[in-house]
């Protein structure tokens, strides 16, 4: 039972770390996106005002829409692609504990722990 409690404690720490990391990244991404959107909208409004009394106003509006689409794709790509870095792996502690437990189980089932389990080196009966 103590081992399971330890697993639960380690898993809880990993969940808290993962939630904190995700919340921080989302908050920073949200603030950056809102600021960039406001700045870009102001720039677009300025460009449309400049082109309004010209025959190019439809092309300017279409070009701005294309720029918006390309910018959105360019900004979303690194976040959605997500290069896996070791420090960004979720549940790293629980993975490490699972690896240690798996190693102990493998050692005990491969014979390294069999002599102690059988009472020592007894040949025959």
What pLDDT sits at residue 39?
Answer: 92
Q: What gap in Å lies between CA 95 and CA 58, rounded to an integer? A: 56
Residues in the chain, total: 125
Helix ranges (DSSP H) in the chain: 2-51, 57-81, 92-109, 114-117
For residues 17-45, give the mean pLDDT: 89
What pLDDT sits at residue 86?
Answer: 58
For residues 27-46, give the mean pLDDT: 90
Q: What gap in Å lies between CA 59 and CA 39, rounded to an integer? A: 21
**pLDDT exceeds 60 at position 59:** yes
To the nearest whole percent, how much of the chain has pLDDT over 70?
80
**In whole numbers, what is the pLDDT of the chain averaged over residues?**
80
pLDDT tens-digit readout, 77-101? 887 887 656 556 667 777 777 788 8
What pLDDT sits at residue 37?
Answer: 83
**pLDDT exceeds 50 at position 124:** no
Q: What gap in Å lies between CA 68 and CA 39, rounded to an integer? A: 12
**pLDDT exceeds 60 at position 36:** yes
**pLDDT exceeds 50 at position 125:** no
What is the pTM for the complete model shown? 0.41
- Radius of gyration over every alpha carbon of the chain, rounded to an integer in angstroms: 29
């Amino acid at each position: 039972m103590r081992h399971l409690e330890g697993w639960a404690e380690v898993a809880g720490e990993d969940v808290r770390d993962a939630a904190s990391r995700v919340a921080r990244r989302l908050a920073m991404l949200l603030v950056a996106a809102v600021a960039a959107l406001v700045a870009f909208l102001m720039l677009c409004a300025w460009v449309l005002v400049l082109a309004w009394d010209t025959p190019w106003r439809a092309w300017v509006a279409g070009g701005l829409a294309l720029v918006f689409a390309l910018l959105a794709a360019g900004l979303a790509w690194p976040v959605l692609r997500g290069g896996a870095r070791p420090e960004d792996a979720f549940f790293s502690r629980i993975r490490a504990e699972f690896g240690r437990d798996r190693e102990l189980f493998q050692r005990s089932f491969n014979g390294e722990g069999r002599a102690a389990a059988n009472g020592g080196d007894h040949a025959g009966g």
